[in-house]
Amino acid sequence: MADAQWSPGRRTGDADEFLPVLDIIEPTRQRRLTVLVRLLLLIPHFIVLFVLEIAAFFTVVFGWFAALVLGRLPEPVFRFLAAVLAYRTRVAASGMLLVDRYPPFTLTQPSGYPVAIDVRPTRLNRLAVFFRLILVIPAAILQSLATSGWCVLAVVWWLITLILGRMPRPLFEATAATLRYEMRVSAYLSMLTPAYPKGFFGEDALSVPQQQARSATRPLVMSTAGKVLLVLFLVLGLVSSVTTSVTRSSSDDSDYHAQG
- Tell me, what's the pLDDT at 211? 72
* Mean pLDDT, the chain, integer: 90
The helix/strand/coil state of 187 is helix
Alpha carbons 219 and 129: distance in angstroms, whole number = 28
- pLDDT above 50 (res 3): no
Of 20, 24, 197, nearest to 96 (Cα)?
24
Distances (CA, A) of 55 to 111, 132, 149, 238: 25, 20, 29, 31
Residue 11 pLDDT > 90, yes or no? no
Q: What is the pLDDT of residues 12-37, one digit of tens each?
A: 444 457 899 999 999 889 999 999 99
| Consecutive H or E run containing 70 | helix 43-70
Q: What confidence score (pLDDT) does residue 214 get?
A: 84
Global pTM value: 0.89
150-207 pLDDT per residue, tens:
999 999 999 999 999 999 999 999 999 999 999 999 999 999 999 999 999 999 887 7
pLDDT digit string, tens, across residues 96-115: 999 999 999 999 989 899 99
For residue 152, CA distances in Å to 70, 185, 232, 235 come to 42, 21, 11, 11
pLDDT, average across residues 250-254: 61
Give residue 244's pLDDT: 83
Beta partners for residue 42, in sequence order: none
**Which residues face 34 on adjacent strands?**
none
Q: How is 135-174 classified by DSSP, letter by letter? A: HTHHHHHHHHHHHHHHHHTHHHHHHHHHHHSS--HHHHHH
| Position 235, amino acid | V
Q: Closest by alpha carbon to 79, among 127, 179, 8?
A: 8
Contact by Cβ (8 Å): 145, 96: no
Is 88 in contact with 50 (CB distance < 8 Å)?
no
